[in-house]
Amino acid sequence: MKIETIAIHAGNHTDESTKAVIQPIVMSTTFERAADGNYPSGYIYSRSANPNRTQLENVLAKLENGADAAAFSSGNAAGMTVFQSLRPGTHIIGPDDMYHGLRNQVKNLFAGILEFDFIDVNDDTVLQNHIKPNTGLIWLETPSNPLLKVTDIRKVVAIARQHNIKVAVDNTFATPICQQPLALGADLVMHSSTKYFGGHSDLMGGALITAEKSEWWAKIRDIQGYGGAIPSPMDCYYITRSIKTLPYRIKGHVHNAQLLAGYLETHPKIESVMYPGLLSHPQYETAKSQMSAFGGMLSFCVKGGSDEAKKVVNKLKLFTQATSLGGVETLIEHRASVEGPDTKTPHNLLRVSVGLEHIDDLIEDIEQALN
């Protein structure tokens, strides 16, 4: 089936008892045991498994063309589960512009437990030089947040395979509609499903999808069950529902982002625009080779420094100044302010989650703010 069909049908089933065409929300925390001691439904306790979570995980796995998926209460919970699954002393390589929430998590919660280096993963020599005998995981984020850097997944996987190292890819910005890392050789994909999967800025969630049901995956599943950082049945139901429109929402986000990036690139008050769909993007050819579309996220730098960038943000009327991304409304933020004093982000950079408003209205708003 094509991905539009998968998004609608892989997380849905007709309820057997009522014949309702949409599955019910099963709020029960526990399930009846039969006289012989077995559980006829296959469910025991909702921390371990729940019918709504099963449906969500099924559609997530199929969207990424993976062997299995695990749903979590947030993207950070999903990422933490990956790090918890590694042996103490394992060395992780991550990108130098890794999402600050997961970067800080590794630095602060896993200090003394795991080793880690944050490097330019796009430089083959630098990557090779940082591989150690205890390196167990290379973490990628492509396109990256907020610099929209694109990493050649195939190339990194080829290097990792030479050293028996696993590769995980944060695919939140791209979504499986624009990029499928497992098909490019990655072992694991992570999403903050709060973003495009939820799509309406009103749900929290995270997800991991695996290429194969390995021993490592079994440990990740154990952590999910024992740790209990899981989404509620209600959240699972609503994320599954939102995913049904994901392919068509992403088409709208991409359309608007491409046009907005093109407008900004020619504006005299803009220093630079970061969007993988622009020919000027330094990794445009890489993006073109591994992405079917370029996503709905972009960043741009305003001439005149931090103060000028903040003036632009504060003059906008339609763009909402807020963190997060992936909703139907356009969001903008001065990213360095969010990331704190150790940020690597330029202080004149504004990150935009391009929404589904009419592109003419978005351009008119940014134009009046810049002028």
Q: Which residues are catalytic?
A: 47, 99, 170, 195
**132 within 8 A of 91, measured Cβ to Cβ:** yes
Q: Six-digit token pair at 261?
A: 């990036």
CB-side exposure of 257: number of CA atoms within 13 Å? 35
> Helix (H) and strand (E) counts for the chain?
14, 12
Spatial distance between the Cα atoms of 80 and 25, rounded to a whole number of angstroms: 27
Q: What number of other Cβ atoms are within 10 A of residue 137's Cβ?
A: 23
**How many residues appear in the chain?**
371
Query: Position 39: which residue type?
Result: Y
**120 within 8 A of 93, measured Cβ to Cβ:** no
Whether the ω angle into residue 143 lies within 30 degrees of 0, i.e. cis, is: yes
